[in-house]
Amino acid sequence: MSGSSLPSALALSLLLVSGSLFPGPGAAQNEPRIVTSEEVIIRESPAPSVTLQCNLTSNSHTLTYSYWTKNGVELTATRKNASNMEYRINKPRAEDSGEYHCVYHFLNAPKANATIEVKAAPDITGHKRSENKNEGQDAVMYCKSVGYPHPEWIWRKKENGMPVEIVNTSGRFIIINRENYTELSITNLQITEDPGEYECNATNSIGSASVVTILRVRSHLAPLWPFLGILAEIIILVVIIVVYEKRKRPDEVPDDKNGGEHLMHYHPQFKTDS
């Protein structure tokens, strides 16, 4: 018995009565049904192991293979020809959270999938401890996270130890947010207002995390300091020599012969040195 051999009116009425008995493309009743285990929330790190499950409960096509994906990427070595699927996560951590799919491929039919969400509070896995720049330059700070759902990001600056949301009156603050990444740029650094502790805060439905980056801003003159140091040394040397000479001369006045000889020797030596 086949649906396509019946008159269309009869086929339609039979379909309405008996549902998935009559497979046909595009009919909602014929879509594979997948039953999944519940969503998982990872609360400790590492947590006790969890097992994700998908069972194909109603299906009219020949299964060719099935596999698991995480965030859209096929998980290696999960490909099988099985309608009941299991995926075990040992000692799950925040980085194991994400959107898992079980995917079923059929012979001559579209593939089907179901979603299991594995959630965890954000964990900030990368940031700069400090950023050191000169005034007038630009500073770039960033944070990246693991943890699903992807967090909302907030940047704050500590004022007297209390984090306060950044105010952009000067228009020098630029924030770029991606799903698991945030970047704060400060242009044309000001030595009076900008140095301090900047905090990035990641918050999702499960929890939140924050880390601090210390921004140091040096004066324009800072790169000149080594040069100024040498200059100061030269000046001090010259002053010492001049003072030494001025002091020496009056002593040498009474003794004409020795003084003259001494000065004659002394001068050429001074010239070659300088």
Write the binding mask 45 to 74 for ligand NAG: x where contact by CB under 6 A, - elsewhere: --------x-x------xxx----x--x--
Write the binding mask 142 to 181 for ligand NAG: x where contact by CB under 6 A, - elsewhere: --x-x-------x-------------x--x-xxx---xx-
* Stretch 13-42 residues interacting with ligand NAG (CB under 6 A): 35-37
Write the binding mask 92 to 111 for ligand NAG: x where contact by CB under 6 A, - elsewhere: ---------x-x--------
How many whole angstroms separate alpha carbon 40 and alpha carbon 47? 11
Asked, as a colleague might, if the bond just before 46 is cis with ω within 30 of 0, I would say: yes
How many whole angstroms separate alpha carbon 200 and alpha carbon 151? 11
How many whole angstroms separate alpha carbon 196 and alpha carbon 26? 61
Please tell me whether residue 180 adopts helix, strand or coil conformation: coil
The closest residue (CB) to ligand NAG is: 171
How many whole angstroms separate alpha carbon 66 and alpha carbon 23? 21
| CA-closest candidate to residue 153, choices 189, 113, 203 | 203
Closer to ligand NAG by Cβ: residue 6 or 177: 177
Closer to ligand NAG by Cβ: residue 121 or 217: 121
Of 45, 78, 185, 203, which one interacts with ligand NAG (CB under 6 A)?
203
Q: State the sign of the Cα–Cα–Cα–Cα dihedral 13, 17, 23, 26.
A: positive
In the complex, the residues that contact ligand NAG under the rule CB under 6 A are 35-37, 53, 55, 62-64, 69, 72, 81, 84, 101, 103, 113, 144, 146, 154, 168, 171, 173-175, 179-180, 201, 203, 208-210
